[in-house]
Chains A and B, each alone.
Chain A
Amino acid sequence: MSIRQSLLALLSEQPRHGYELKAEFDRRTGHSWPLNIGQVYSTLERLERDGLVVRGDEDDDGRVVHSITTDGRREVQAWFANPVVLDNPPRNELAIKIAIASSMPAVDLTALVQVQRRASIATLQDYTRARRAADPDDLAWHLVIESMIHQTEAEVRWLDHCENAALRASHRARAARTARAAAAVEPQPTPPATTNPLPASQKSPR
């Protein structure tokens, strides 16, 4: 989706041929998600089919230049004017794994979280090195690598949260077990029959 919009945006600046589009896309996204030329041509075909670009003539080297149409320009404007909405919300493999693990008493959640935290920190070490090695004037790459750093940082913060929440839950469970055990050895006061309006069938289990 974003490839289509990005190529269209590049064509709104000036007519370009396929290889030039690939080179511009790669350069302006810091070579983070390089396109292959086949993707570029298939995207151009679809844009042409939808009336957003038109093919020009071949130049002396046999390359076809594509130009944007008025409808194409409108679509570029809409892309920049509107927020990006991810599939709501995108499936998060880690969140699913931790949710499942937290429901299984046999799984050591603390150990699982630490394995993940270590991997995330190691990834941050790699990203930080990559950022330091980069040309400080390469704004596109800087922005992209910072996006990765922020995401990974957020993941670590969320892992801390998972661990604390699981710890609190297990403290609560232990306190509840202790309270039940204490209640079992002490004589129960008999509740007066009239204060319970619920018929026996509607009482909560346990």
Chain B
Amino acid sequence: MSIVLELDNVTRSYGSGPTTVHALREVSLSVERGEFVAVMGPSGSGKSTLLALAGGLDQPTGGGVGVAGTELKGRTRDELARIRRRMLGFVFQDFNLVPTLTVLENVALPLELDDARTADALQQARHALERVGIAELADRGIDQVSGGQRQRVAIARAIIGDRRILLADEPTGALDTSTGDQIMALLRQLADEGVAVVMVTHEARHAGWADRVIFLRDGRLVDESRSDDPTVLLRHSNSRVPRRIFDPDVEA
């Protein structure tokens, strides 16, 4: 068991006094290598805030965040940016790709920003495109690939250089259901290869791919569902459809 991402009692509030907005309150979360965590909750419950804090895009007003064993607190902006580029990648609903660059150049961008040699960056970008299954699109322009393919480009960019943490904020929000399923299959595959994935989603169907689903409400982590819950026995009877049986005698 190796924890690659840790939120320890993290709070993020805006403003002070009676008008304070608590975007996130005392949330603790540890994510292991190869674990796929889905984050659910109503709009405004703090899901995006949680991702931004986990990825060092935003700083908590209380508690601490650790990425691959490195505490983020007290780092300069440059240091944070370097940790981000080495350790983790973000994926958003609207892909955030650069339209004037090719698929390959988009994927290579984070390494180039990190002063890698261009040849080296392009080679790693090719490898990342292979992992997400679209090596053949490398030289296309962004406007020459479909929505699902664009999200694959964004995912390749996020994992380039074998980055170990993938943070995805509603990655299927702009995709149809079956394309969304294919993106879920890809995230699942990356998790099985050892990437820690934290994904915000409001689609139950997509949360079903995760090992663990956490529920936020009013900035608090209120509940979670683990697929290896020890109090649950999976019974198949003589049917192939799994059925859950809650066994209160088993310690959770």
Interface residue ranges, A against B (CB under 8 Å): 30-34, 114, 117-130, 132, 141, 144-145, 148-149, 152-153, 156-157, 160, 163-164
Contact-residue size bin, chain B (C-beta under 8 Å from the other chain): 20 to 34
Interface of A is mostly: helix
Asked if B111 is at the interface (CB within 8 A of a chain A CB), the reply is: no
What are 18 inter-chain pairs, A to B, with CB distance below 8 A? Answer: A31-B239, A31-B240, A118-B215, A118-B225, A121-B207, A122-B225, A122-B227, A122-B229, A123-B242, A124-B204, A125-B207, A125-B213, A129-B242, A132-B185, A149-B208, A153-B203, A153-B204, A164-B42
Decide if A125 touches B240 in the complex (CB within 8 Å): no
Looking at chain B's contact residues, is the secondary structure mostly helix, strand, loop, or mixed? mixed
Q: Would you list which residues of chain B between 184 and 210 have a CB under 8 Å from chain A?
A: 185, 188, 203-205, 207-210
Q: Which residues of A contact B210 (CB under 8 A)?
A: 125
By a CB distance below 8 angstroms, the chain B residues around A120 are 204
Q: B204 and A152: CB pair below 8 A?
A: yes
Q: Contact check, A32 vs B241: say whether CB atoms are below 8 A apart.
A: yes
Interface string of B221-246 (1 = CB under 8 A from A): 01111010100101000111110100
Whether the pair B225, A121 counts as a contact (CB closer than 8 A) is: yes
Q: How far is the CA of A128 from the CA of B222 in the complex (A)?
A: 24
| Residues on A with beta carbons closer than 8 Å to the beta carbon of B31 | none
Per the 8 Å Cβ criterion, residues 154-211 of B in contact with A are 185, 188, 203-205, 207-210
Tell me the complex Cα distance, A121–B213, Å. Answer: 8
- Distance of A125 Cα from B238 Cα, bound (Å): 20
From known contacts A121-B208, A124-B208, A128-B209, infer whether A30 and B240 are also in contact, taking CB-CB under 8 Å.
Answer: yes
B121 contact set on A, CB distance < 8 A: none
Q: Check if B204 sits within 8 Å of A157, measured CB to CB.
A: yes
B5 interface residue (CB < 8 Å to A): no
Contact A128:B208 (CB < 8 A) given known A114-B222, A118-B225: yes
Indicate the member of B40, B42, B241 with the most A CB atoms within 10 Å. B241
Cβ-defined partner of B208 (8 Å) among A117, A127, A157, A160: A127
CA distance A34 to B240 in the complex (A): 9
Determine whether the beta carbon of B227 is less than 8 Å from that of A126: yes
The answer to whether B244 touches A126, judged by C-beta atoms less than 8 angstroms apart, is yes
**Which chain B residues lie closer than 8 Å to A141 at the CB level?**
240
**Which B residue sits closest to A159, measured CB to CB?**
B204
Q: Do B241 and A125 touch (CB < 8 A)?
A: no
Question: Complex: how many Å from CA A37 to CA B247?
Answer: 32
- Closest CB-CB distance, A116 to chain B, in whole Å? 11
Chain B residue numbers with a CB within 8 Å of A149 are 205, 208
CA distance A124 to B42 in the complex (A): 19
Contact with A along B16-40 (1 / 0, CB 8 A): 0000000000000000000000001
| A128-B209, A153-B204, A153-B205 given; A118·B223 CB < 8 A | yes
What separation, in Å, do the CA atoms of A144 and B215 have in the docked complex? 28
Distance from A203 Cβ to chain B, minimum over Cβ atoms (Å): 41
Q: Are B239 and A33 in touch, CB under 8 angstroms?
A: yes
| In contact, B239 and A34 (Cβ under 8 angstroms) | yes
Closest B residue, CB atoms, query A31: B240
> In the complex, which residues of chain A have a beta carbon less than 8 angstroms from the beta carbon of B239?
31-34
CB distance from A44 to the nearest CB of B (A): 21
Complex: A124 Cα to B242 Cα, angstroms: 10
B214 → A minimal CB distance (Å)? 10
Q: List the B side residues contacting A118 at CB < 8 Å.
A: 215, 223-225
B residues less than 8 Å from A127 (CB atoms): 208, 241-242
User: Are A124's CB and B215's CB within 8 A?
Assistant: no
Given the interface contacts A114-B222, A114-B223, does A123 sit within 8 Å of B205 by beta carbon? no
In chain B, positions 83-112 with a C-beta closer than 8 Å to chain A are: none
Q: When the two chains form their complex, are residues A125 and B204 in contact, meaning their CB atoms are under 8 A apart?
A: no
Bound form: Cα–Cα A59–B185 in Å: 50
How far apart are B71's CB and chain A's nearest CB, in angstroms?
Answer: 32
The interface residues of chain A lying within 8 Å CB-to-CB of B244 are: 119, 122-123, 126
A121 contacts which of B40, B185, B242 (Cβ < 8 Å)?
B40
A125 pairs with B208, CB closer than 8 A: yes
B234 cross-chain contacts in A, Cβ below 8 A: 126
Contacts of B42 in A (CB 8 A): 160, 163-164
Chain B residues 65 to 80 lying within 8 A of chain A, measured CB to CB, are none
